Structures are given as C-alpha cells and as structure tokens.
Amino acid sequence: MRDQAELQDVLDEAQVHPDVLALRPDYRALLLAVDGVVPGPSDGKSEALLRAAEQSARQALAAGPVEELPHVAAWREAFRAFGAKPQRTRSSLEALLRRADGGLPQVNRLTDVYNAISVLHLVPLGGEDLDRYAGPPRLIRATGQEPFDTAAGGEPVTEHPEPGEVVWCDDTGVTCRRWNWRQARRTQLTDHTSACLFILDALSPLTDQALEAAADDLVAHLQRLGPDVRVARRLLAAT
C-alpha cells in the first residue's frame, strides 16, 4: 500500500496541458489519490447513498430541464468548443442526472459512492484504478493516434479520439475520452480495486469552495471503506 508521500508523488506529476486551459481558462481539476480501500460489491450503504442522490436530482430538476442547470450548461459549451455535440456526447454529470429518475446504476461500492457524490454536488466525477495506471494522469488535446480501450457489441475494441478532442491519458493511452464522457475499460474500478484516482471537473459558475466541498464529501465516504484509507489531493488550475 502506498504511503501519503507516494500518493502525493502521483498527483505532483499530473498535468493539464496549456492547450486545454486555452480552450477553457476557467477549468479546474481536483484530483484525489486514494489507497487502502477495502474493495467490494455494492452494499446497503452505497445503495442508500444512490437513493439520496436520486432524490437530490429530482429536486434539482423540478424547476426545469437538465440542460438548463448552470454547471451542465457550462459543460455543454465546453464540449462544443472542441467539436463534440452535447446532444450525442454528454458530460458524465448530465448522463447521470438523466438516469436518476429511473434509478442510478449499482456497479460496486466505489463506483456507487462517486456517482452519488457527482449527482449530490452537481460536478462531473470520474474514478480510476490507480494500480492500472502507467505514469501520471494528463489532460491533453488528442492527436488522434492515442489508443482507447473500450467495447462495442460486447467485444473489446481499440478506438482513437478525434484530433483536438480533450482526453485524459497516461503513458499507455487514453483513460477517459471527451473530458469526462467515457472511461477506458483498462482503468475502470472493479470489485477488487483498493487504490483509486478520482477526478472532479469544474467550470464556472462552480466555485472552488463548492468543488472542495464535493471532494470533502467523497473523502468522508471513502474513509468509511477501510481502517487504513489514505488520501492525497491536488487542485490543478490555470492560476
């Protein structure tokens, strides 16, 4: 298990490329490196958190459609800026909000927790298996040559992002396409994941205080998933 210094080392090498910040100078990424989680499938506590998130989503959407929520609208603008069509390619936050009324999916307790926190705080949030990373996380605009490990028709396939697409990657390839749209299979969280990287994405009008509050809530729930959970964090921003 990594100690606190090793977790911080992972985050100290993380980068957001200047080309991404030129596209959206208001972008911030809050990264959490976590180890010591006791892994497992969905349980009663993760299910209860998902039900609370569903109720929160219903309240947020009571006044109007999902695309009019300020942070969702900001992400739609960001996707358009690099050529994605938000009607077809939705931020992870918008995708979860659209599913909430019919029930958020139960996957495993780590995934359940971060999906629920995403909805409760209205912030895109991704979780990756840190042990399957090769090198530090980097947010770049793709050349179009980077491999992306996914599935089509139930079979594993390798795709490539569009040139100029905003992607998270490591030394092996893309870990998440279109900023926070779809994660790679290689680094996805499973019932056996004990070390994680979480990425919380923010654009204006979401404040730094709201972003930190979402991270605090996530950490509080993660620390209940084992007696020796360790967490390091880092905020990446243009300033």
**What is the tens place of the pLDDT at every residue in 63-72?**
899 999 999 9
Residue 118: Cβ within 10 Å count: 27
Domain of 212: which CATH number? 3.50.40.10
pLDDT of residue 106: 95
Residue 6: Cβ within 10 Å count: 13
Distance of CA 141 to the CA centre of its chain: 17
Q: What confidence tens digit (pLDDT) does each residue in 168-180 have?
A: 999 999 999 999 9
Model confidence at 137: pLDDT above 80: yes
pLDDT of residue 152: 84
Residue 42, classed as helix, strand or coil, is: coil
pTM flag (> 0.85): yes
Number of domains in the chain: 1
Enter the tokens of residue 205.
């009008």
DSSP 83: T
Return d(Cα 82, Cα 74) in angstroms, integer: 13
What is the overall mean pLDDT for the chain? 96
Segments forming the whole domain that contains residue 97: 4-237
Region for 146 from its dihedrals, namely left if φ exceeds 0, alpha if ψ lies in -120 to 50, beta otherwise: beta
Angle, vertex CA 160, rays to CA 155 and CA 162, nearest 5: 135
Enter the tokens of residue 6.
């090793």
